[in-house]
Amino acid sequence: MRIGFCGLGRMGAAMARHVLEAGHELTVWNRSPGKAADLVAAGATEAASPAEAARDADVVVLMLTGPAVVREVLFDPDGVDSGAPEGSLILDCTTIGPSAAREVAAECADRRLRYVDAPVFGTVGPAREGTLTVVAGGSEADYAQAEPLLHCWGEPSRVRRVGEVGSANALKLVVNSALGVVATGLGEALRLAAEIGVPRDTALSALSAGPYGWTLQQKRHMIEAGDYTDTAFALDLMAKDLDLAVAEAGRELSVVAAALGDVRAAVRSGAGQQDYAAVVGWLAGAS
């Protein structure tokens, strides 16, 4: 297939490389320059605009930062819409929330483009390994076209259609809202340990045997070192996802809203580009 790929951040660059390795013809674009050199060396073509990346493409993949950027890349004068052939499939791997996904899909349909939302579960390591979990929302026919491409970066047994457009983003917000609550709860548990005289190592070992076990298996080394710079999932992206979850809910999500407040405060402290586990360290050390 001829693939246009827009968004070469930590996740996008890794995903795009798998597209090349699968033998597809790949044209890439990124807002900031300098991100495409390795992919070009491996055989990709770099485009000067989203429109150019989409020209002649069968599928255009988006891996961006949020709903506003998705709309800009798709619908601005030099956006995907102005270059993509009629009937092209937009495969949006950005987490933008179910409402935005349905709105974007409707606008794509008005412009004779098809749309599937397909956010990923996992971080940079699984993206590089091609073992992400991927859920997709869209028509059965559009998903059938997208599925072989999703297998480029997703573990085949964990790639699935979960419903119509928006359903995949809805599921992603459910999962990430829980992730945010766990991270902030862990931070407060460690702060409590410090305040009542429980050594941190003792607390971490005890917490690892309980409901925080999975998170500590992934992040304990960061917490112990106090170093969150090896970012797998950036804290400012967690803030964006929690904000979307609160906005989409039909009634107040008090626990998620509280987690969002803590995450935003940690972002304001300068930790936005660090791994989301930075909120654990910020809370544990906050006065």
Task: Name which of 50, 159, 171, 170 is nearest 102 in CA terms.
Answer: 170
β-strands 154-163, 132-137: how paired? parallel
CA 284 to chain centre: 26
User: Going by C-beta distance under 8 Å and a sequence separation of 6 or more, which residues neighbour residue 170?
Assistant: 98, 137, 248
Does 172 participate in catalysis according to the annotation? yes
User: Going by C-beta distance under 8 Å and a sequence separation of 6 or more, which residues neighbour residue 114?
Assistant: 87, 88, 89, 90, 108, 138, 139, 142
User: Going by C-beta distance under 8 Å and a sequence separation of 6 or more, which residues neighbour residue 58?
Assistant: 1, 2, 3, 88, 89, 145
Task: Name which of 119, 128, 180, 174 is nearest 153 in CA terms.
Answer: 128
Residues with catalytic roles:
172
